Structure 1
Amino acid sequence: MALKSTIFKLDLQIADLDRNYYGNHTLTIARHPSETDERMMMRVIAFILHANEALVFGKGLSAEDEPDLLRKDLTGSITQWIDVGLPDEKRIRRACGRAQHVAVIAYGSRATEIWWQQNRAAFERQEKLTIYQISPEDAAALTALTSRNMQLQCTLQEGELWLIMGEHNLRVAPITLS
């Protein structure tokens, strides 16, 4: 018998002062059986950084050729492709060919630095690509906030995220690599 996804509910309030975007989102997030809480929370961070009424979670780990998050225009063309983790250069190149803009949320420890150094030249040739790095400390702090029902308030200002969940306050400072 196949394992089923675990469902998480998230009430998210976003005040993005950098993009002048303000929105309330009620999200249902399916965490794949092989996905960690850390990776799921990175998908939430990706959603916050690129929040839009048309942004949706993709099949991610369940489908090889689909992003973790995506946004399409009215014609069905992909305007935004967002991956979480350390995708290979070939996947990024294909995504840049299919979407108007591609973003990657890289996280983890030493592996992120190695991945970046190995692929930096190829990534810097992709004009449509933005890569953010989340520090291991920020990723661990986010993971500690994970619960099946979450209420999260987020303010983005000058590239930093300020998150409030209950009595917990957290600052996440993504580093733009490319």
Structure 2
Amino acid sequence: MADGSTIIKADISVSHIDSQDFLTRSEVIAVHQAESHQHLVQRLLAWAIFRHHQLQMSRAICVGDEPDLFVKRNDVQFEHWIEVDQLSLDRLEKAEAKSEHVWLFYCDQQKAQKLHKLINKHPSLQLVEIDNDMVENLSLLIEKNLAWSVMIDHDLLTVAAGDAFFESKLTLFHPLTVPAVDLIH
């Protein structure tokens, strides 16, 4: 465990209603003290709803060149590079050089505004927008043991955390010239 880290055990049941895909994801996560609860919630939501059996969560969120989540192709290349919250243009270029597909999960439209304008210049980039209210409310419920039920039904994301229940629209943006790689629905 890294200095200043908190250990969180996350158990998330995921139901993709439209594809009838059901799974349970469990992970013990070392959360660095510099990571906000909002960033952690966005990582957990991306981890829960992104459908790839080899999806991994980065072990060192504040260190190194790894993305927040990823699917490795080999030792140096990624099949999917996934960031949450924000993605600078420099980091986007690095991700495009190392990965076939680049994803950004975010809830703050202002942070992704530049990428929206440039999305057609980046054919490997897909943006997934989640409502900010859901992220904020879930961030208030972060505990050392998380048990969430997540349901994706077309463009609606529903999360049950304890007695709390939240809904968000899921919006997927991708370059108009390239078909979407839909690993969400």
* TM-score w.r.t. length of structure 2: 0.82
CA distance in 1: counterparts of 2:61 and 2:129, whole angstroms: 20
Residue of 158, 161, 173 corresponding to 2:157: 161
> Aligned partners of 1:69, 1:124: CA distance in 2, in Å?
23
**Which of 13-22 and 64-73 deviates more?**
13-22
Partner of 1:5: 5
Unaligned runs of 5+ in 1: none
* Partner SS, residue 61 of structure 2: helix
> Which runs of no fewer than 5 residues in structure 2 stay unpaired?
175-185
**Aligned equivalent of 1:176:** 172
TM-score, normalising length from structure 1? Answer: 0.85
The aligned counterpart of 2:113 is 117
Q: Tell me how far apart the structure 2 counterparts of residues 15 and 85 of structure 1 sit (CA, whole Å).
A: 23
How many residues were matched structurally?
A: 172
49-58 or 7-16, larger mean C-alpha shift: 49-58
1:146 partner letter: I
Contact residue 11 and residue 148 of structure 2 kept, 8 A: yes
Alignment of structure 1 residues 21-170 onto 2, 5 Å: 21-59=21-59, 61-73=61-73, 75-76=74-75, 77-108=77-108, 112-113=109-110, 115-170=111-166
Aligned residue number for residue 178 of structure 2: none
Q: Assess if the C-alpha contact under 8 Å between 2:68 and 2:82 holds in 1.
A: yes
| Percent identity for Structure 1 against Structure 2 | 20
Distance of 2:115 and 2:124 partners within structure 1: 16
CA RMSD of aligned residues (A): 2.0
**Structure 2 counterpart SS, 1:62:** coil
Q: 1:81 to 1:20 in 2, by over 3 A?
A: farther
> Hey, what's the Cα distance between the residues in 2 that align with 1:10 and 1:57?
12
Residue 15 of structure 1 is matched in structure 2 by 15
Q: How many angstroms apart in 1 are the aligned matches of 2:106 and 2:169?
A: 13
Distance (Å, rounded) in 2 between the aligned partners of 1:120 and 1:159? 19
Aligned counterparts of 1:43 and 1:119: Cα–Cα separation in 2: 19
| 1:119 to partner: Cα distance | 3.7
Q: Which amino acid aligns with 1:99?
A: S
